[in-house]
Amino acid sequence: MIQKAMAALLHELEAWNEAGRVAELWWRDDDATATSPALDTLLDISSEYRIPCNLAVIPVKAEVSLRERLAGSERAWVLLHGYAHVNHAPRGSGEGAWELGLHRPLETVLNDLQHGREILKSMFGERFVPVVVPPWNRIDPSLYQHLPGLGLTGVSAEWTGNMTPEVEGVRIVPAHADLLRWKKKQASFAGTDKVVRSIVDHLRAKRSGKADQGQPTGVLTHHLEMDEAAWEFMNTLAEATTTHGACRWLAAKDIFTQGSIG
């Protein structure tokens, strides 16, 4: 079943190959805080297929065990997953969950981001890439202009299907294909057809000039919520793409090239 659905992706990669181009993907995984069997599974896939994995880590929940576990992985990179992953939107407002909205004073939100950056930089050193991954994939666009002043040079949130906005000093690279579907805070595999379609839609949009040509296609996982079907798909995706000459996976440090700012 997975192999049949994967044929659409391989067909798209052949179109890239025929055009003499290489499709670029990147892997973002959210909500990392500590070592766990699920994290081991993720890092095993990363190691086996030599794919960089970019972990969005919650600063105030990050444990020493995570730092120690990642120290032995050459392909793991750390991104800033908000601050505490706490919803500050009023209950019953219908807005959904927001940590990086303007439901609090702007200064408070910016202070949280700055403190979170300091925590992760101290814990992970050069493994930390100063890119904001907002909890629940939501961030108020008015925050963008303040990020360079905090030493933050990138943002990764959800894809709207439109061309990515341009913000001076900040590179915006969304996640395009989420392996999970969420219902009443419970996660399950979104389905092979849906995930492959999301990947192919973005690749095709890039190839035809309808999306940012320099933007890698983002594959999103949440290792703590992945079921067996989701892991099986991720493993198959890694195998199919890494054995195709017209595809490569990128590390956050290479996507967000300004990420070396200290």
Spatial separation of the C-alpha atoms in residues 233 and 228, rounded to whole Å: 9
Q: Is the pLDDT of residue 159 over 90?
A: no
Query: For the domain that residue 234 is a member of, what is the CATH number?
Result: 3.20.20.370
Residue 185: per-residue pLDDT: 77
Q: Considering the entire predicted model, what is its pTM?
A: 0.94
Q: What does the mean pLDDT of the chain come to?
A: 93
Residue 23, pLDDT above cutoff 90: yes
CB-based contacts of 138, cutoff 8 Å, min separation 6: 96, 97, 98, 100, 101, 157, 158
pLDDT tens digit sequence for 115-133: 999 999 999 999 999 999 9
- Structurally, the chain folds into a number of domains equal to 1
Which string of b and e fits 38-70 if b means at least 16 CB within 10 Å?
Answer: bbeebbebbeebebbbbbbbbbeebeeebbebb
- In angstroms, the CA 175 to CA 158 distance is 5
pLDDT tens sequence across 132-156: 999 999 999 999 999 999 999 999 9
Q: What contacts 24+ positions apart, CB below 8 Å, involve 178-182?
A: 178/220, 179/219, 179/220, 179/221, 179/226, 179/230, 179/233, 179/234, 180/221, 180/222, 180/225, 180/226, 180/230
Its domain, for residue 211, covers: 2-260
